[in-house]
Structure 1
Amino acid sequence: MSVNAESDCLRTALTQLLGCRYPIVSAGMGGPARSELAAAVSAAGGFGLLGMVREVPELIEREIAAVRAATPCPFGVNLIPCATEPALFAAELDMCLAARVPALCFFWDVVPDAVKRAKDGGAIVLYQVGSLADALAAQQAGADAVIVQGIEAGGHVRGRTGLLTLLPEVVQKVRVPVVASGGIATGGGLIAALALGASGVHCGTAFLATHESFAHDYHKERICEARAGDTVYTDLFAINWPPNSPVRVLANSVTAAAGGQLFGYHPDKLPREVIGHEDGRPLYLYSTDSPLRSTTGDLERMALFAGESSALVNARTSAAEVVERMVAEALQARRRIGA
């Protein structure tokens, strides 16, 4: 059997829904996941998501156009209702629907009205959740697929339990395709997720260090240097988000200074110490802003988002190479299991 024919075995309900070749979705990371990354993932056969959280409609319009100029392949846009001022979120959603993006991905609290508006506008809806209750709520609201996030994930973490337990629990109870997220950066992880009933995987850290990612080189280097146990689960980086919103980051001087007190921080009670700038905008210590290509300042003290899978990302490559490697590893794992 040829590699191309063999890779057809990776076609799932998710690839059918999204119109992509491989069941690999790149996370819509706010900041790093701009048009260059989303287009590269989609062109390689995966499904790229633009991370347009709290971005002005004009930027969203440009980024959507840039993806379409780079590839004819389908893609989506990630928005976060609860972390965005309502008027801005409405404007973001209006722009996406006016541009007729193929899919929209929402995250954190389930907002049925956002799902309805997206569906009424003709978009496929993915909803990233962290519990069975939220998965059922997203399905009830009309989501076409749910992304189940385990506590291993990087960035903002909705899940409170490990993916190996949460994923099969959700798969047993929902009817729509389920996508696994958290700690996955290899083809073996993809096969494991499929074995547990998922229709695909959703990867952030695996793509964060790629050439196309808009993350700062310092952030990419730290991910490639990371080993198992180098991430920290905390709500210390809280400014710009609702209270009680944990994140997973690479350990740095800020997490070290916190010692054993990694939780209990309220965004309104944290000091506003400027430690950098992004396109003229001040960045505060304890902010949820991660360093981007255009960021200046004390990068080491910023939120260096990374999942536990950072231990599996050891080199900076192209996004296409990540997709191709994961597919090759998945097929190898499938053969190994079959043998």
Structure 2
Amino acid sequence: MLRTWVTDRFGLELPLVGAPMAGVSDGRLAAAVSAAGGLGMFGVPATAAPSWIAEQAAVAAGGGRPYGIGLMAWALDDDPGQLDAVLDARPSLVSVSYGPFDRYVEPLREAGIVVATQAGTTDEARAAERAGVDVVVARGGEGGGHGRAEVATLPLLQSVLDAVRIPVLAAGGIAGARGLAAVLAAGAEGAWVGTAFLGCAETTLSDTARERVMGASETGTAYGRVFDVAQRLAWPAEFGGRALRNAFFDRWAGREEALAVDEGAPAELAAARRTDDFGTAYIYAGQAVGMVRERRTAADVVAAFAAAEELLGRFTP
């Protein structure tokens, strides 16, 4: 068995955390990942009501296994009820990232919750340690969804491991046993994985979206702020998003100032999301999307990561 800080702390079979993908992972996916031996998480969208958090937490906790919740720091100022709902739910782990997260660390820790934050640079990891988080996620630019894109996973991970004393998880571009073995060998306590689960029925993605994911290549993603600007979301400018490249992105990339005042773009994007028109609507995914080739259950995905033990065993005398 691969034993690390994260497996021992949460009683896991594998050092694997399902990333809290807002809009993709809800309580059902979190529960499925946890039941399979990892630590499942669900992400809280910026506009989610506290009641939604409570409902999804009940689903995630239904199997009796540890689970986690991901929060966006920039959204909490507008809706402090989200934090209250998370404190009431008492998950095992809470990730609070992207914005002024430090003010939320102590309330979560006082509630007995392990606190993580995602860092895209070594300086951000150092700041997370100073803020008192229990574990930092070194998230490289290959990762899907939101974050920084300045540094790739492997150089970031090496630097962060040298810079902090708290446990470190690795994120970005890890989609199977080889990736898990690589980051464990480097010294990470586990992997934080999102894109690998996009082909699973337990996500909230439609069948059309899953087909789009499974048809994408490793070069089929793009990083930027186009979809956030079009939705008038208040994401901090330093945190863009990596999604499947499409015609809407290509039309507006580099023209974000014009997009911000275009009256028709928000409605166009909203309509495309309602109708699964992914020539316009977004699907957030990382560069590992080229490895997602078939429909699988979350349990299948988690089980495939177990081969990391055999890979690492090749170097044991």
Superposed pair shares fold, TM > 0.5: yes
Structure 1 letter corresponding to 2:60: V
> Hey, what does 2:6 align to over in structure 1?
14
1:144 is matched with which residue? 134
CA 243–104 in structure 1, closer or farther in 2 if over 3 Å, else same: closer
Q: Which ranges in structure 1 are unaligned for 5 or more consecutive residues? A: 1-7, 277-282, 286-290
CA 1:266/1:212 → structure 2, altered by over 3 Å: closer, same or farther? Answer: farther
Change (3 A) 1:221 1:326: same
User: Take 1:15 and 1:110, find their aligned partners in 2: how far apart are those partners?
Assistant: 29
State the 1:301 CA deviation.
Answer: 0.7
8 Å contact from structure 1 (residues 272, 284) kept in 2: no
- Taking the TM superposition and a 5 Å limit, the aligned residue runs for 1:1-339 are 8=1, 10-54=2-46, 55-69=48-62, 71-82=63-74, 84=75, 86-88=77-79, 90-238=80-228, 239=231, 240-244=233-237, 245-258=239-252, 261-262=253-254, 264-265=256-257, 268-273=260-265, 274-275=267-268, 283=270, 295-296=274-275, 298-328=277-307, 330-338=308-316
Per-residue CA deviations over 1:181-216 (Å, capped at 9, x if unaligned) read 001101000010011111100111001221101112
Distance 1:267 1:129, change over 3 A: farther
Contact kept, 8 Å, 2:197 with 2:301, in 1: the verdict is yes
Which stretch shows the higher mean deviation, 177-186 or 221-230?
Answer: 221-230
Kept after mapping to 1: 8 A contact 2:98/2:236: no
In the alignment, the residues of structure 2 paired with residue 256 and residue 264 of structure 1 have an alpha-carbon distance, to the nearest angstrom, of: 11
1:215-253 deviations in Å (ceiling 9; x for gaps): 122221111111221111222112313252311111111
Q: Is the 8 A contact 2:31 2:67 kept in 1?
A: yes
Return 5+ residue gaps in structure 2 as ranges: none
**Number of aligned residue pairs:** 311
Distance (Å, rounded) in 1 between the aligned partners of 2:271 and 2:180: 37
**More off after superposition, 198-207 vs 299-308:** 299-308
Instruction: Tell whether the 8 Å contact from 1:110 to 1:138 is kept in structure 2 after alignment.
Output: no
Could you tell me the percent identity over the aligned residues?
Answer: 33
**Distance across 1 between alignment mates of 2:236 and 2:129:** 26
Q: Distance in 1 between matches of 2:315 and 2:207?
A: 38
Answer whether contact 1:53 1:78 (CA < 8 A) is retained: no
Q: 1:100 to 1:222 in 2, by over 3 A?
A: same
Contact 1:235 1:263 in 2 (8 A): no
Helix, strand or coil at the partner of 1:146:
strand
| Aligned-partner residue type, residue 58 of structure 1 | S
Q: Deviations over 1:253-299 (max 9, x none)?
A: 113334xx4475587434443236xxxxxx277xxxxx5xxx43533
One-letter code aligned to 2:285:
A
Q: How far did residue 332 of structure 1 move?
A: 3.1
Q: Which amino acid aligns with 2:159?
A: E
User: Conserved in 1, the CA contact under 8 Å of 2:76 and 2:83?
Assistant: no
Give the whole-Å Cα distance in 1 for the aligned partners of 2:255 and 2:99. Answer: 20
RMSD: 2.0
How far residue 120 of structure 1 moved from its aligned partner, in angstroms, is: 1.5
Write the distance in 2 (CA, Å) between the matches of 1:40 and 1:225. 24
Contact 1:36-1:213 within 8 A present in 2 as well? yes
Secondary structure at the residue paired with 1:31? coil
CA distance in 1, matches of 2:235, 2:268: 21
One-letter identity of the residue aligned with 1:332:
E
